[in-house]
Each structure stands twice: as structure tokens, then as C-alpha cells.
Amino acid sequence: MTTTPIDPKTHSAAFSVFGNAAFDNHEQVVFCHDKDTGLKAIIGVHNTVLGPALGGTRMWSYANESEALTDVLRLSRGMTYKSAITGLNLGGGKAVIMGDAKTQKTPELMMKFAEFVHRLGGTYITAEDIGMETADMDLVRTVTPYVTGISEEKGGAGNPSPITAYGVFMGMKAAAQHAFGSALLEDRTVLVQGIGHVGESLVEHLSNEGAKVLIADINQERLEAVRDKYQAIIYAGDNLYEAPVDIYAPCALGATINDQTIEHFNAKIIAGAANNQLADEQRHGAMLKERGIVYAPDFVINAGGIINVYAELEHYGRAEIMRKTENIFDTTLELLQMSDREDITSHQAAFNVAQQRIDARKRGN
């Protein structure tokens, strides 16, 4: 009998967990399946040195299981460093559900997913991400206490998207201070790619400050609604990475800074809400630095959401949420200055500070 070799690039069944480039010493990877509801999910727990692994659940139509695995590994790792750099006593985790949130998400599927979360006994705490709403977290809460981002009427901190956007806005202003000598974004041209909940809130902040806002999204109806609401401009160019703007704000999926796009950027600053914006953290971070483009590390400036849901665990109110989120300005500016002073990328500067905090906790300090 002969067998045909499986090509891992084309066959979803052939993928490596421990050998995945994004694995990076994950503590736990849990595969969740339920035939009756159609649930296919992966939970990644990267690191719990600082506390339980908290991170949102994303529902997305992945091309295959390998793509879903890589996404959850990259995202959960990013949550470790996001919480560490923000000073939160949390580890890093994330979950992905494979499927179309518009057509395949059902209450039964979400409750079955909640059962898997509950079995982890608090090692992983879930929250809202792409494809999820606050109502979904309320439903998960009926099954397990290991969930944050529930509605305010049910005792939670509510939708984290506006706070995420405000943190990105603060980080963007810090980057402007570093690059232009002024944090004011009035009359600056900003391209926001991705007009979801976070992207729209960011557009609102930018419009209120007097920035000229360009928007891009795959959903034309959404684009037109946001354009009309905030007097934004729909970007009509062939290549949005070549847009002659001051600031590029990626607020959709990650890895838009890659070998194909990086040479086209005309923006002086990249500061957005998307996770894992650098396809290759070291190489692409260095390429941005060589080109003189100021990069506000994504896991630093998009931490507003986790600050918001962390309030449910630590029982602090709106005033403390806003104070911690506004501090993203100072943190970002300090990291950009460190990047220049030590001649390292801004991503590496942020990573170093976060890793130092994790290492100190490991030593018992």
C-alpha cells in the first residue's frame, strides 16, 4: 500500500502544535469539539506567572485548523505581554471558535463553549473579541464565572471596545508627540483600516479632535454609515498602504505590516488597535525603524479593553478605568524614548519591559 504525503501548507490536518513557530512555550492548548452544536474551538493559555490567563474569544471563518491554531497562539502570547506591560496581575490567554459568527453562532454553541472554559477551573478567563458581543458574554456567564466583559446591568464593566479605542487614541497621541513634537492631532491625516466597534470609536475621537479621517473596510455599507456619521472620507486609492497620511491605524486583523506592504508605507506613524500587526516582530519592527516610521506597539496601546474587563475582577470603577487607560500615553512615550535611547525597536523595548516584570515575579520579587 502506498500513501500520499500530506502537504502542511494545503492540508489542514497536518499541522504541528509544539513545533508551531507561534507556540513559544505555551503552558496549555485545549481543543474543544461538540458534534451536536458544531463547536470547534481552541483555547490557548500562554503564561500564568502573573495571574490567570485572560483574553477574549474570537469567532472567525478560518481557512483551516492550522490557521486557527496559529492565530490563537499568537493572540494568547500577545495577551501575556499586554497585561504585563500594563501592570495587571494577569497572564495571557485567548480562544478562537471556527465558524461564521453571523450564521453559525447559536446560544447552544456559546453555552457549550462556556462548559469547556469552566472545565479549566479559572486558569483561563474569557471575554469579548471579534465576532462576539456583550450579550454573548452574558450568556457564557450563566454557565461559568470565568468570564469578563459582561453587561453593566448584570454587574460587569460593559462593552470594552470604546475603552480600547480610547487607549489607542492615547497611544497615537504619544506617538505624535514623539514624531512631531506635539500630541495634538488636529489637522493630522489618519487612515483607520477596519471600522468595527473599536475602529468606529477611534474615528469618533479623531474627528472630535479635528483630524482629517480616512476610513477603509471590506464592508461598504458600514463604511458609508461611518462616513456619514463622522464626516470621514472613504479611502478610494488602489493601495491603502501608499496613502499619503500622517498616521496609519490598523484596526482589523493582524499582520498588515509584512514583506508585501512595508515598503509602500508613506505614514510617519503606525498606531492602531489590531493585535499582532507585525507579521515578523523582529524583522518588520527593524524595517520600520530603518525607514524612520514610529511604531506604537500594538499590545501597549490596545490594552484599554483588558483594563476595562480587569475592573470586574479587581472591583474598581469607571474613574480608575479611565486613569489606567490614559496612562497608556505615558507608557507609550517612555517606550518610544527607550527605543531611541537604546537603539532598539519600539516593539523590543515594550517586550523587554514586560518580560522583566514576568521574570521578577518568577523569582518571587
Active site residues: 94
Sign, CA torsion 93/128/160/224? positive
The Cα–Cα gap between 359 and 365 comes to 9
The Cα–Cα gap between 110 and 181 comes to 48
The Cα–Cα gap between 173 and 181 comes to 10
The Cα–Cα gap between 110 and 291 comes to 45
207, 233 Cβ separation under 8 angstroms: no
29, 44 Cβ separation under 8 angstroms: yes
Which three three-digit cell numbers place residue 124?
483561563
Q: Specify which residues 32 forms β-bridges with.
A: 41
Name the DSSP letter for residue 311.
H
What is the enclosing helix (H) or strand (E) of 331? helix 318-342
